[in-house]
Structure 1
Amino acid sequence: MASPDHLFALRNNFYLGAYQAAISSAEQLRSLSAEEADERDSLVYRAYIAQGSYQLAIQDISDSASTSLQAVKFLARYLDPTENKEAVISSVKEWLNDPAIGNNSVLRLVAGIIFMHEQDYNEALKHTNAGGTMELHALNVQIYLKMHRADYAEKQLRIMQQIDEDHTLTQLATAWHDLAVGGSKIQEAYLIFQDFSEKFLMTGLVLNGKAVCCMHMGNFDEAETLLLDALTKDPRDPETLANLIVCSLHLGKSSTRYLSQLKLHHSKHMLVKRLSAAEEAFERALQSVA
């Protein structure tokens, strides 16, 4: 008989972006094995990092903590704008090359996340491609989709489906893949996010997922309603702001407020970079004919 999964609620809340609920559920967990306690702490600190509390993780996690927790600390340091990113990347590479700890699944996951942020997808896959956990397989799906290789993403998805078709990460990865493929698959992705919203807490991640599906299907009014709901949950969430900019443009509404917020809080966001590049190109074109 299988032993109960004490961390199911914590993991599920984290995967779906219910970070405060994840932190709160972790406080109720008792009588865990050393391995379970390590996973619990890793997920809790990752939830704090997802909320932007980088310094909490950096200060709380000591140098004598487990490899998994040290890896999470690297992630906090990488995302913290006051830290030296290059120094963090150098340290992560050093740890990955250590045969004693280099194969730690959380360390490989963090490396994959960091190199994906760096848009160094080949380096990311070097550490994640072997899989080993559902999170690593899900990250592989994300990386391949960013590389515009939906065919490779689908192969990873099949592995996840063979392991556990009903797993939250399998369902999420299926929705991401469906959105990338498009066409009739958009409706299937929408139904996955709809199912999440009925079973679990309605989070910004789920609302954004539904909204993107709606935009693909041309339902911009519904998308706007969903995104405004997401904005009440986190007024600074970059994906909500970016999606609202796109949605507003399609509805013929002003997107200035959302764009200002995105530029203020997330100046490195891809949409901000693209808009800045377009504005610079327009200025150069004007000067060339002046």
Structure 2
Amino acid sequence: MTDTDSATLHALSKQLAVGAYQAVVNEVTNPATRLHSETAARQRRVVLARAYLAQGRAKMAAETLAGGDEATHTHEARALALLAASALDTASASASSAGAAAVALDAADDGDVAVLAASTLLNAGRPLDALAVLAPFRHRSLDAAALFVQALLLINRPDIARQEIAALKAWADDASLAQLAEAWCALSDTDANRAQDAFYTFDELASAGAATAKLLISKAVAQILSSKFAEAEQLLAQALNWNNSDPEALINLIVCANATGKPADVTAGYIKQLKDAAPNHIYLQELQLKEDLFDRCAQKFSV
């Protein structure tokens, strides 16, 4: 793979990581953009497919992977289909996870398939299995390394995540994914100063290119952790201008509303929007579980 191809792929990975999905689509589908090797072209197709999937365009994602040699295409297509299915609801995620583990085993030397399969396993609530799939690639693939850190944070191991970030920065210090991973780890810290460090990282990434809803929400989370709720609400409002049904923006607005004592109808309005936008979101499932538990407890003590 040429240096030019590597630079192109790194730029696309950065855009994908910060949530600039349409920018990825525009760049990859531009006929003037050419790569020199089939390996780079295949990796670019996977990035494009992931961008389409992030936009909710599963059919376009599947069509993107129609190309390359048959075996590679089959593994990538299977992994992508499983990832798409896992995003539908909890039952689909659970059903897809076994297939994801199998396809990762079948394509044990393919880092792109590993990232797709690990993403499915994370959707299914299987971070330990995701870590096992990603482990062989985390020191040679930025995407795998970043996802590895996410999985560690999901199992509440920021100590190991920090070690992985230190190792990542040894060979990819200037990479945006390395900066993002370090910021994610900072958000897990109880020190408010670390949350502000994360805010500045997200802000710098947004300033370096176009701001995205994902970066705006990330900045808002950092402000929430610093108890700067008014600033967080402004950022979340901007994120909703990009996508007025973004589940993560709505959830964080619920957090802000509860923290600042807003009227109950404000929170109820955000919850209604969330139910319309993402009825199977894990937040709503947890909320329903707690409401049911409260009702059962209330019945025990009712007169």
TM-score, normalization by structure 2: 0.87
1:60 CA displacement = 5.2
Any stretches of 5+ residues in structure 2 without a counterpart?
none
Indicate which of 43, 58, 62 corresponds to 1:58: 62
How many residues end up aligned between the 2 structures?
A: 287
1:196 CA displacement = 1.1
Using the TM superposition, name which of 41-50 and 178-187 deviates more: 178-187
1:265 aligns with 2:265: no
For residues 113-153 of structure 1, the C-alpha deviation after alignment (integer angstroms, 9 at most, x for no partner) is 11111111221111112223011111111111110111111
User: Given that residues 42 and 69 in structure 1 are in contact (C-alpha distance below 8 angstroms), is that contact kept between their aligned partners in structure 2?
Assistant: no
Measure the CA separation in 2 of the matches of 1:59 and 1:37: 15
| Residue 255 to residue 86, structure 1, CA distance change in 2 (3 Å) | closer
1:248 CA displacement = 1.6
1:158 CA displacement = 0.9
Q: Percent identity?
A: 28
User: Given that residues 9 and 25 in structure 1 are in contact (C-alpha distance below 8 angstroms), is that contact kept between their aligned partners in structure 2?
Assistant: no
Paired residue type of 1:46: R
Aligned residue for 2:154?
146
For residues 60-105 of structure 1, the C-alpha deviation after alignment (integer angstroms, 9 at most, x for no partner) is 5449326445433332243356x9556543433333333xx22210
Indicate which of 180, 186, 202 corresponds to 2:188: 180
Aligned residue for 1:20?
22
Using the TM superposition, name which of 88-97 and 119-128 deviates more: 88-97
| Residue 31 to residue 84, structure 1, CA distance change in 2 (3 Å) | same
Aligned residue for 1:36?
40
Measure the CA separation in 2 of the matches of 1:21 and 1:79: 22
Using the TM superposition, name which of 12-21 and 61-70 deviates more: 61-70
| Residue 194 to residue 61, structure 1, CA distance change in 2 (3 Å) | closer
User: Given that residues 10 and 23 in structure 1 are in contact (C-alpha distance below 8 angstroms), is that contact kept between their aligned partners in structure 2?
Assistant: no
Measure the CA separation in 2 of the matches of 1:264 and 1:214: 26
Aligned residue for 1:237?
246
1:112-123 matches, within 5 Å, as: 112-123=118-129
Paired residue type of 1:118: A
Aligned residue for 2:13?
11
Paired residue type of 1:71: A
Any stretches of 5+ residues in structure 1 without a counterpart?
none
Q: Secondary structure at the match of 1:195?
A: helix
Paired residue type of 1:232: N
Q: Secondary structure at the match of 1:268?
A: coil
Instruction: State the superposition RMSD in angstroms.
Output: 2.2
1:59 CA displacement = 5.0
Measure the CA separation in 2 of the matches of 1:277 and 1:156: 35
Q: Secondary structure at the match of 2:8?
A: coil
Using the TM superposition, name which of 169-178 and 52-61 deviates more: 52-61
Aligned residue for 1:281?
293
1:58-207 matches, within 5 Å, as: 58=62, 61-62=65-66, 64=70, 65=73, 67-80=75-88, 85=93, 88-98=96-106, 101-130=107-136, 131=138, 132-183=140-191, 184-207=193-216
User: Given that residues 263 and 272 in structure 1 are in contact (C-alpha distance below 8 angstroms), is that contact kept between their aligned partners in structure 2?
Assistant: yes
Measure the CA separation in 2 of the matches of 1:252 and 1:85: 35
Aligned residue for 1:251?
260
For residues 159-187 of structure 1, the C-alpha deviation after alignment (integer angstroms, 9 at most, x for no partner) is 11111111110000010001101312112
TM-score, normalization by structure 1: 0.91
1:212 aligns with 2:218: no
User: Given that residues 22 and 44 in structure 1 are in contact (C-alpha distance below 8 angstroms), is that contact kept between their aligned partners in structure 2?
Assistant: yes
User: Given that residues 78 and 103 in structure 2 are in contact (C-alpha distance below 8 angstroms), is that contact kept between their aligned partners in structure 1?
Assistant: no
1:192 CA displacement = 0.3
1:56 CA displacement = 2.5
| Residue 221 to residue 112, structure 1, CA distance change in 2 (3 Å) | same
Measure the CA separation in 1 of the matches of 2:149 and 2:177: 10
